[in-house]
Amino acid sequence: MTTVYDFSAKTIDGREISLKDFEGKVLLIVNTASKCGFTPQYEGLEALHKKYGPKGFAVLGFPCNQFGAQEPGDASEIANFCKLTYDVDFPLFAKIDVNGDNAHPLFQLLKKQAPGLLGSEAVKWNFTKFLVDSKGQVQERFAPATKPEALGSQIEKLLARA
């Protein structure tokens, strides 16, 4: 069965890495944007990363410009914004598409394994979150309006099973 570990992605600084580097960790994979009403969620995502990181958890942020052109910057602008505004320390990746013909293969898997409302696969907006267990299987999709701090109990359950 295909897992998130079967994919690779470019980091925000342009290095190609295998998601196998995160094998055994519980992951929260999020499509992000710097100019969105949900952008302040970076703060909550970083708080989750700091709180649960030592226990085997990581947030992975994937900037995306497909929703209202709310991620217009280049890689260095995105990285600087995230670091200076929200002190983001969790891994950020290069800007990708999450929907359409050019959707990153990782997001194709995430959407298939955790469809949205009424079984729709498309990501509807920035800050859609996918919770992945320590075996690389998608467990749940959360809507953009779901605040990161509301995910603690689900993360703790997966960490307890890891």
Give tens-digit pLDDT for 53-85.
Answer: 999 999 999 999 999 999 999 999 999 999 999
Q: Is the pLDDT of residue 106 over 90?
A: yes
DSSP class of residue 147? -
Distance CA 154, CA 17 (A): 27
Sign of CA dihedral 17, 87, 34, 131: positive
Give residue 79's pLDDT.
94
Give residue 17's pLDDT.
96
Average pLDDT rounded to a whole number, residues 107-127: 89
pTM for the complete prediction? 0.96
Place of tokens 């907006």: 125
Q: Is the pLDDT of residue 118 over 80?
A: no
Give residue 115's pLDDT.
84
Give residue 120's pLDDT.
80
Distance CA 125, CA 145 (A): 10
Give residue 11's pLDDT.
97
What dotted CATH number matches 4-161? Answer: 3.40.30.10
Share of the chain above pLDDT 70, in %: 100
Q: Where are the domains of the chain?
A: 4-161
Distance CA 87, CA 85 (A): 6
Distance CA 145, CA 129 (A): 10
Give residue 32's pLDDT.
97
Q: Is the pLDDT of residue 116 over 90?
A: no
Q: Report the catalytic residues.
A: 36
